[in-house]
Structures are given as structure tokens and as C-alpha cells.
Amino acid sequence: MNRRTFLAGAGSAAVVGVALAAAPSFGAATGRKFGIQLWSVARMLSEDFEGTIAMLAGLGYRELETYGPYTFSDPRQIENWKKTAAMLGFSGSGFFGLTTAQIGATFARHGLTVPSMHTDLFTLQTRMGELAEAAHALGATYVTLPSLPADQRQTFDDYKRAADMFNAIGKDATRHGVRFAYHNHGYGLVPVGGKVPLETLIEATDPAHVFLEMDTYWSTAGGADCKAYLARYKGRYRMVHLKDMKGDHRFPGDGGAPSDWIGMFPYLTYLGDGSLDMAGIIAAAKESGVEHFFVEQDRADDLKVAIAGSAAYMKKIGFE
């Protein structure tokens, strides 16, 4: 079981004005588009795919990040998803029963593009050809690993081995005309023997083949300074998951266990409704070379209010 198991259902459709009032203005529009990780609305997509996509477009989202498994994913991940889906109470993932051409046409009809596809480690290792083919069909640049399996991040040496594995995956992705990216949660940020595992992993991977996706909430929960990481590893972070935090909180443990994530859910909120320096983080991300900004809402008391609030915030600060 992982944090994805705890998705909250959709709530009312009311659009809040709090984010608009709280968000700072950057003045002239940046011209940048903002997007959303589709896991945020997974249950809604399972119940009404086309209606949910239309709703996202209507709120101003212009980019999407998909999540797997897909029909072409490694069979082991497809089996894993069946077990997770049984707990979640819905089974939609990947292209939600549509062909690549059909889902691409649906997105295009609503003015949406897909820069990144989240996938699993098995598929990255055994189905890169099929994954890249789908990415090319949708116009996606990045094939992204949302987390490193727990059994492969237990020790500092595990992170060294992960770096070698990522280099191999990254080179394979490059050969297939896509880019491999790694999305880190809050684990790997506690020093071990004076060294931070995530930093060792980043520094041991080839910047020509391995890219990064930051999660503002989980990085903060793990004790990281998002702006400092973006500045230190300039050019490595190409995508960001944006989510806000009420108050200033950290994992009770090292961020590696589901209990750590569950304990942090009550503080999760939409952009502009929390206390993170979202404007500063976004400015640092732009300076660092981040290309895509995805809202992600792991849970919410009222999901539609949350994704509407985040969209309002992004438009307020100059995104299109």
C-alpha cells in the first residue's frame, strides 16, 4: 500500500475566491501554461472521463500528467494495480479504456497537452519501447517514475544502486527519443553518516539522461528547502508538483512509511490556502529550468474546490 491508496473522493463544485485574494501578483503574464497530475482526479475520471477532462480545461488547466498502469505496462504492475484498485473502489488508470489515438484526440479537443507520463519501475525496465511509442503519440517528453519502491531504498547503498539503475534507464529512454525523470517523495532526505541519500543519488546520475520532478509538499515534509534544492541542482529539475501546506510540519519519521504520509494529510491544502512560499518556490523553479508546473491534490475535503482554488492561484500569479 502507498500514499496513492488514500485518494479522497470529489466534493462540491463551488469555486472559491480565497486563492485569488491570497495570491501575490507577478505583474505581467508569464505566458506559461499550468497543468495537473491526473491522479488528483482519478476517481472522477473513472466515473466520467470526458466530463472531468472538460471540467479541468474549463478551470484553465492546459497540461496533463498521466498515471499508470497502461495496457502496455509490465504485467507485474498491472497485477499490483488490481489489488490497489480493489482497495480504492475504482479501477481507472492509464488511458481509461481508450486507445492512444482516442485519448489523444480527447485531450486535443479540450486544448490539453501531455508533457509527462508517470509509470512504474517494471515498465521502465521492460517496456520502454511501448512506453516511448505512446509518449510520442501523445507528444509527451518525459516518462517519469513517481517513487522508488520501498525495498530499494532501505540503505544508503540502495541509493547508490538506484543511481546506476537510473543511469541505465535514462540512457534507454534517450535511445527511444524520450527523457527519464524521477519524482521523489519525502524519503531520502534524512542524512545518513553525514550524507543525504537523495543528494547522493542526484549527484551520481547523469544529467544528460536523468531528470527530476520536485514535489513541494513532500519535499518540505521531509525537511528539504525546495528553493535551495532548485538552486543547487539547477538544470536537473524539469517538472514540479505544486501543493500547499497549512502550518509548518514535518514527517514524524523519515518519510518512508505510509504512516508518515497519512500523518501529513490533514495539513495538505490547495495553492494559496497554505503557508508555503509558493510564489518564491515557483520563481526559483523558473530560474532553475523547470519546464512544467503540475498541480497535484493527494486528498481534499472538497476536491473540486481545491483544484479550482489552485487553478485560480496559478492564473493570479500570471500563468495562462
Give the pLDDT confidence of 123-178 residue by residue, as tens digits.
999 999 999 999 999 999 999 999 999 999 999 999 999 999 999 999 999 999 99
Q: What is the pLDDT of residues 220-241, one digit of tens each?
A: 999 999 999 999 999 999 999 9
Q: How many helices (H) and strands (E) does the chain have?
A: 14, 10
pLDDT bracket for residue 47 (50, 70, 90): very high
76 pLDDT higher than 90 = yes
Q: What is the largest CA-CA distance in the chain?
A: 53
What is the CB neighbour count within 10 angstroms for residue 139?
12
What average pLDDT does this structure show over 260-264? Answer: 92
Of 120 and 192, the structure prediction assigns the larger pLDDT to: 120
What average pLDDT does this structure show over 22-47? Answer: 75
- The single-letter code of the amino acid at 211 is F
pTM for this entry: 0.90
Burial 14-37 (b: 16+ CB within 10 A, else e): eebeebeebbeeeeeeeebbbbbb
How confident is the prediction for the chain on average, in pLDDT?
90
Cα→Cα distances 163→16, 111, 157, 184, 210, Å: 43, 37, 10, 13, 9
pLDDT of amino acid 89: 87
pLDDT of amino acid 12: 32
320 pLDDT higher than 70 = yes
pLDDT of amino acid 140: 98
Split into its structural domains, the chain has a count of 1
For residue 278 the three cell numbers come to: 509558493
Whether the CA torsion 125, 120, 52, 20 is positive or negative: it is negative
Contact call for residues 94 and 121 (beta carbons, < 8 A): no
The CATH number linked to 211 is 3.20.20.150
Q: How far apart are CA 182 and CA 146, in angstroms?
A: 6
Cell 541519500, residue located = 197
pLDDT bracket for residue 10 (50, 70, 90): very low
pLDDT of amino acid 9: 34
Q: What is the pLDDT of residues 93-120, one digit of tens each?
A: 999 999 999 999 999 999 999 999 999 9
DSSP line for 187-241: TT-S-BTTB-HHHHHHHTS-TTTEEEEEEHHHHHHTT--HHHHHHHTTTTEEEEE
Angle, CA of 42, 44 and 45, to the nearest 5°: 65
Among residues 46, 39, 43, 52, the alpha carbon closest in space to that of 4 is found at: 39
Whether the CA torsion 274, 188, 299, 288 is positive or negative: it is positive
Which phi and psi angles does 110 have, rounded to 5°?
A: -105, 10
What average pLDDT does this structure show over 9-16? Answer: 33
- What is the domain extent for residue 296? 3-316
Contact call for residues 58 and 109 (beta carbons, < 8 A): no
Among residues 173, 177, 265, the alpha carbon closest in space to that of 217 is found at: 265
pLDDT of amino acid 90: 87
For residue 14 the three cell numbers come to: 463551488
For residue 280 the three cell numbers come to: 518564491
pLDDT of amino acid 88: 87
